[in-house]
Amino acid sequence: MAYTALYRKWRPLRFEDVRGQDAIVRTLKNQILSGRIGHAYLFCGTRGTGKTTMAKIFARAVNCEHPVNGSPCNECATCRAILSGASVNVAEIDAASNNGVDNIREIREEVRYKPTEGRYRVYIIDEVHMLSPGAFNALLKTLEEPPEYVIFILATTEVHKIPVTVLSRCQRYDVKRLTLDALEDQVRTVLTAEGAAFEEKAVTYIARTADGSSRDALSLLEQCVSCCYGETLTYERVLDVLGAVDQSVFSGLLRAVNDRDFTAVSAVVDALVSQGREIGQFVTDFIWYLRNLLLIQTGNPGEEVLGVSAEHLARMREEAEGMDVNQVMRYIRVLGALSNDFRYAASKRVLLETGLLKMMQPAMETGYEDLLDRVRVLEDTLGTASAGRPRGVSRDAAPQDADPYGDAPGDGRADRAGFSISGLPGDGAAPPRKKTVEVPPAVYEDYRTVSASWKDIVAGEGRLFSSVFRHSTVSAGEEGIEILFGDPYYMRLAENREKTRTVASILEARFGKQFKVRLRLLPAGDAAPEVVSGKRIPGIDMDIEEE
């Protein structure tokens, strides 16, 4: 007997065998039991979740001679004929290769004739979104008023491509992705029935990699079982077969990225490539690892939610405490963009190393989130974290009886820009004093320079910043610069996001001076004033130096 793939061998034959779709199964069974059977159904959802399987079970159930609690018996002549594909009353059509008007016209001709056996003619149209506009129009009238013995079951992974005129004539069922527990149970059941020994950790990884798809889970399982034929299916063997890595690798890589140690990062990538691991899968798993860190930072999930061991969970909590939420979100954003770029990459390794370098060096990017990360790096460089406080924890987390701004004498802190600077604790000795970085205040010529190069400054600071401030002009005076807006909408955006402080930080980083900045909305109809030598700018309390 020819070998049958696992996903075909274990395809459910009754409604009771369908996993993870309890609400849909209950509805379909009740319709069969009560005789309230519709004429058009639409199953939509991601791949491998049971759309076509439920359509075939339903086609047998409505024609079954001895249905059992709404499910087909699979023993009568009608059920056996449909299972073998010999029944002329159940037609499965692939719309990807039969998507023309002529194919639908053939169906319209066939529905004129009553079924030769059974009660219903059932047409299962798979990937129905592939039909041409003309084919949809040809199907529309028949779909709206079919004969009482005809049932249409449409299945699609892209429901948004189906015309609303078709959607409104169907009973729509959204097929959900299977949960991790449901997939684990399925993989475990198949392994037990096949007589294969396995580790629970291997089952969990296969189920998580399947990403909610039952068919993907069984396909991955078949690949792993073939490699371990006659042996125990271990977690390490699954990683080898699927080209994946253990979570400890992600932990070590993340620590190297946070320490900005590119030598260690390059060593991890080199080991990844030399062992033949799939780089795309590695990035996907790394994103999932960072997602778990984000969950730990924003809540208190257990081992079951994250799908990790107690040992890994303890290590991840330690890493989450030492990082800022914005930093983790930036890492996820960089890796997400990297994953999209892989399809066009000539060398995935070079692209991966470039992405990891971006994670280590936020100065390479100019977005708003990247600016926050650059400030964090600057704080670490200057030693701004107070004694005993882990990196990434905000000043608000300090005890209430402590002075968060370092106003107490002799504590080695400075209060410039609201940041505290202190030394790290020694072995019982007083913490060493850090040098305060003195930044000189800007003078009038500096403000004139900013005014003259304002457009270039805005253009170089990323899309989020420039989207607001490219609608502004700058007026310079002896006491500072004033950013002028003619549109109140952009003025509100600048105020709501506290851009004034951000502008001062950007100018300080660019010119090495302390700048005084304020925002002002121009009256309706007024144009932005220009700087004129020897005169006062109308409406602005700033003196202009005579030349």
CATH class of 180-242: mainly alpha
125 versus 403: which is more confidently predicted? 125
Tally the residues of the chain. 547
Rounded distance, CA 424 to CA 388, Å? 8
Return the pLDDT at 385.
44
Q: Which residues contact 462 (CB under 8 A, 6 or more apart)?
A: 365, 366, 367, 368, 370, 371
Q: Decide if 54 contacts 48 (C-beta within 8 A).
A: no
CATH architecture observed for domain 444-521: 2-Layer Sandwich (3.30)
CA distance 339 to 523: 48
**Cα distance between residue 244 and residue 285, in whole Å:** 8
Q: Residue 472, SS3?
A: strand
At CA 284, angle to CA 333 and CA 218, rounded to 5? 150
* Integer Cα distance of 430 and 473 in angstroms: 50
- CA 170 to CA 156: how far, in whole Å? 13
Per-residue burial over 83-97, b if 16 or more Cβ lie within 10 Å, else e, is: eeeebebbbbbebee
Residue that has been written with the tokens 């491509």 in this structure: 161
pLDDT of residue 236: 84
What distance in Å separates the CA atoms of residue 209 and residue 193, rounded to the nearest whole number?
22
Q: Which of 94, 44, 47, 83 has its CA nearest to residue 215?
A: 47
Confidence of residue 546 (pLDDT cuts 50, 70, 90): very low
pLDDT of residue 124: 93
The average pLDDT across 169-181 equals 90
Is pTM beyond 0.85? Reply is: no
pLDDT-derived band at 363, boundaries 50, 70, 90: low
Q: What pLDDT is stored for residue 413 in this prediction?
A: 36
Q: What percent of the chain has pLDDT over 70?
A: 78
Q: Is the pLDDT of residue 198 over 50?
A: yes
What is the secondary structure of 263-320 as a DSSP string? HHHHHHHHHHHHTT--HHHHHHHHHHHHHHHHHHHHS---HHHHT--HHHHHHHHHHH
Res 365: pLDDT = 60
Q: For the segment 441-473, what is each residue's pLDDT rounded down to a tens digit?
A: 878 787 888 888 888 888 877 776 777 788 888
Which pLDDT score is estimated for 418? 35
Q: What is the pLDDT of residues 112-161, one digit of tens each?
A: 888 878 889 999 999 999 999 888 988 888 888 888 899 999 999 999 99
- Contact present, 141 and 169 (Cβ < 8 Å): no
55-96: per-residue pLDDT in tens? 999 999 999 988 899 999 999 999 999 998 888 889 899 888
Q: What's the token pair of residue 503?
A: 């502008």
CATH superfamily of 6-174: P-loop containing nucleotide triphosphate hydrolases (3.40.50.300)
State the Rg of the chain over Cα.
33
Q: What is residue 296's predicted lDDT score, i.e. its pLDDT?
A: 87
Per-residue pLDDT reduced to its tens digit, 527-537? 444 443 333 33
Residue type, 501: R
H or E segment to which residue 42 belongs: strand 40-44
Identical fold between 6-174 and 247-364: no
Pick the CATH number of 247-364 from 3.20.20.140, 3.30.590.10, 1.20.272.10, 1.10.10.10: 1.20.272.10
Q: How far is CA 407 from CA 394, 404, 415, 419, 432, in A?
A: 18, 8, 8, 11, 17
Are 151 and 23 within 8 A, CB to CB? Answer: no
89: left (phi over 0), alpha (psi -120 to 50) or beta: alpha
Question: What's the pLDDT tens digit per position in 304-346?
Answer: 667 666 667 788 888 888 888 888 888 888 888 888 888 777 7
> How far apart (Å, rounded) are the C-alpha atoms in residues 184 and 203?
6
CA atoms lying within 13 Å on the CB side of residue 211: 6
Contacts of residue 441, defined as CB under 8 A and 6 or more positions apart, other chains included, come to: 513, 514
3-state SS assignment for residue 406: coil
CB atoms within 10 A of CB 145: 8
User: Looking at residue 373, what is its pLDDT?
Assistant: 64
Other CB atoms within a 10 A radius of the CB of residue 544 amount to 19
pLDDT for the residue numbered 210:
86
What are the residue boundaries of the structural domains of the chain, listed by start? 6-174, 180-242, 247-364, 383-392+404-425, 444-521
pLDDT over 90 (residue 28): yes
